[in-house]
Chains A and B, each alone.
Chain A
Amino acid sequence: MFKLSPEGIEFVKKEMVRYETKLSAVIPCLYRVQDENEGWISPECVAYLSRLMDLGESEIYEVLTFYTMFNQKPVKPLHVQVCCNVSCAMQGSRKILEELKKQNNSNVTLSAVECLGSCDTAPVLQINREPYMEKVSLEQITKTLQERTSS
C-alpha cells in the first residue's frame, strides 16, 4: 500500500492551502508522490492522494494524464531525457539517443523530449529532474550512466 512519508503528508497539507484553490495543489502533490514512489504514479497512488486531498480521482487523473513529466508507468532509477528538437538534433542528439538505446542499460529509461530551453548548449539532456547536462557527448553520458548504475 502506497503511503507518503510524514513529511510528504505535511507537504500536501501545506500545498492544499497555499494557492487560491485546492485544485492548484494537485500538480505539486503529484510531483511529491512521484518522488516518493520511485519515479512514477500508480493507480494506487492516485487513490491514496484523492483520499488525502479529498478530491475525486477523476480530478487527479485530469491533471496527471495531461502533463508529460508525470510517469504513469514504472521508470528505471535514471530517466534520461534527450532533447530531440531542432537545435539539439542539428548537433547530433538523436544519434546519441540511438546509441544509448543500443546499450540496453537495465537501470536507465530513455525518452526523447522537446526543446529544453538550452539550445545554445546543444545537445542537451536531463536526468530525472536534475540540472541539465549541456554540450553533452556520447562518451560523457555513457560514462556518467556507467558510474551511476554501478554504485
Chain B
Amino acid sequence: MEHKLLTEHYNKDNYKSLEGYKQCGGYETLKLALNKQPKELVEMVKASGLRGRGGAGFPTGVKWSFLPDNNEPRYLLCNADEGEPGTFKDRMMMEKAPHQLIEGMIISAFAIQSHKSYIYIRGEYTDSISIIEQALKEAYKQGYLGKNILNSGFDHEMDIYVGAGAYICGEETGMISSLEGKKGQPKLKPPYPAVKGYLEKPTVVNNVETLAAVVPIVRDGAEKYKAIGTERSAGTKIFSVSGNVVKPGNYEVPLGYPLMDMINKLCGGLPPGRKLKACIPGGSSAPVLTAEECEKACLDYENLMDLGSMLGSGAIIVIDDSNSMVDILSVIMHFYHHESCGQCTPCREGTGWLDQIVKNILHGKGRLQDLDLIQNISQHMMGKTICALSDAAALPAISFVTKFKNEFIDYIQQNKISSDNLNQVV
C-alpha cells in the first residue's frame, strides 16, 4: 500500500502555486513551528526517527544537534543535485510541490537558527529551477521569507544555486566547494560540515526529501511519524522505480515495504513474458540483488544492509532476463570513471581500471584472471579516499562479478561479444 505523506497532492495542478498549496493547509505548519522553541523542534525531528533521504541515511535531528552552540552564522544547504543514476524523486518534488520543500526548509532553518539557505539544484533540471524560482518569489511576497517572518522576529533569506554538471557536487563537501565558487571537489572529513562547512562556517546539508519530511513531522507530531515504517526505519520514503517494470515512477511507501510488492503490486510487474533477474535497490552505488534475494528484501535501511546492499537514495532499477549483467556493469563503471573528481589515487586509477576491464570483458577481450583482478582492485578502493564515490564504484563491481560470475565467465570463455540486447530500440 502506498502511504502518501509527501506525495499526497502531487496530482493537483495548482499545488505548485502558493495559492494551491495554501488550500491544502500549506504554511500552517510554519506558523506552528515559529511558536515553538528551536531546540524543541530539533528534539522533535530527533524523536521522529527521520533519517537522511539523500543516500547515507544519517539521523537528521542528530546531525542538526552537532552544530556548535555559538553565535557564528550558520548555513542550511538543500541538496537538490540529484545525480545518483536511477533517482528522480527530488526533481518530482520540486516540480510538483516546491512550497512543501520551501516550508520544510524554513522550519528547519528556524530549528537550527540559520538565517541563510541555498537550494543547490543540478543544472540540467531547468524546469525545477524555474518552478523553485517562482515559488521563492511568491514566498517572499507573502512574508514567509525575508525579515521578521510572520512577525516572529525570525529572519531568513533563501536563494537557489545552479550547478553545472558534475555528479560529485551531490557529495556534501563537493557541493560546498562548488557553492564557494571553486571546482566541486570534496573535502576531507573531519571537520564535518556541521562544524566547518560553507565558507568554514557551521553548515547543515540535507536532501530535498529529508527537508520536506520535516513538515508532516512538525504538523502531526514525532510519535505519529515514528509509528510509520519499522522500528529503526521510521516514516515513509519515496522510491524511484525504473527499468523493466510496466509502470515505472515514484512511489511513496512506509519503510519496510516488501520489494516484490513494490514491483508487482505498485509497478504492475515485469513486461509480459519476462523473468526477474536482478534488482539494484538504492541507486547505482548499491550492490545488486539477485532475483532470489529480491524475494526476501524489504525496503528499509536495516533489511537491505543485512542483504549486503543498501537503501541509498531509494532508486530501484529492475532488471529482467533480457539484459546482460556485463553490459549493465559496464555502463555503471563508465559512469563512476567519468565522475571521479580525480583527487584520490585509489579512486581515480581504480575507477579507470574497472571501467577498462569490464569493457574488455564485454567486448570479448576478457581473461579469467580479470575477475579476481576486479575483486582485488575494488578491495583497494574502499575506505581509502576523501569521499565515498570510490566505495560507490567498488561495491557494485564486487557484487556483479560475485553474484553473476557465470555470466562474466561466459563472455570470457565463449568470446561472447556484447549481445546488444540493451541496444534494441523499443
Contact = CB atoms under 8 A, between A and B. Distances in A.
B86 A62 contact: no
B188 interface: no
Contact of B88 (A18, A65, A89, A117): A117
Interface stretch (B34-42, B300-308, B418-426): B418-426
A115 B339 CA distance: 12
B405 interface: no
Interface residues of B, number: 60
A120 to B, nearest CB: 4
A31 B162 contact: yes
B181 A114 contact: no
A25 B159 CA distance: 13
Interface in B321-348: 323, 327-328, 331-332, 335, 338-339
A85 B280 CA distance: 14
A132 B332 CA distance: 22
A18 B179 CA distance: 12
A62 B127 CA distance: 28
A24 B177 CA distance: 10
B425 A138 contact: yes
Given A69-B164, A138-B425, A84 B331 contact: yes
A23 B180 CA distance: 7
B182 interface: yes
Contacts of A18: 159
Contacts of B241: 120
B162 A28 contact: yes
B181 A95 contact: no
Interface in B112-163: 116, 122-127, 159, 161-163
Given A21-B180, A95-B423, A119-B88, A90 B323 contact: yes
B91 A27 contact: no
B164 A118 contact: no
29 contacts: A21-B199, A22-B181, A23-B181, A26-B181, A31-B123, A63-B164, A67-B163, A67-B164, A69-B164, A87-B243, A87-B248, A89-B327, A89-B423, A90-B319, A90-B323, A90-B328, A91-B426, A95-B425, A114-B167, A115-B84, A115-B87, A117-B87, A117-B91, A117-B124, A119-B85, A129-B126, A130-B126, A131-B127, A138-B425
